[in-house]
Amino acid sequence: MSFSSSRRRDRREQRAPQGISARELAALGMSTLAYIKVVRVDGEEAFAIHAADGTPMALADNRDIALAAILQHEMVPAQVH
């Protein structure tokens, strides 16, 4: 197999499934993923819980409480750097 035919095959495999738009594909899992971000509120450190699309959902006093809240609501914590 040549390099160019391999690249064409790779591109075909990366396309969205038929009948679903790229936007719909990107939204899959949106309601189940959440991440924790360290923020400052009134000069103090807090832990913000955000939906996968960046929408703020809650604040917690520490990371353990934020993680517990995500899990309690049957969401999956996502690692971000």
What's the total number of domains in the chain? Answer: 1
Q: State pLDDT tens for residues 27-53.
A: 666 678 899 999 999 999 999 999 988
Give the model's pLDDT for residue 22.
65
Give the model's pLDDT for residue 50.
93
Residue 79 has pLDDT above 90, yes or no: no
CA distances from 4 to 7, 37, 70 (A): 5, 42, 45
**Which residues span the domain enclosing 68?**
3-77
Give the model's pLDDT for residue 80.
73
Please indicate, yes or no, whether the overall pTM of this predicted structure exceeds 0.85: no
Residues 6 or more apart whose Cβ sits within 8 Å of residue 12: none
Share of the chain above pLDDT 90, in %: 47
Q: Could you tell me the sign of the dihedral formed by the alpha carbons of 54, 30, 78, 71, in that order?
A: positive
Residues 6 or more apart whose Cβ sits within 8 Å of residue 4: none
Instruction: Report the C-alpha gap between 11 and 24 in whole angstroms.
Output: 19
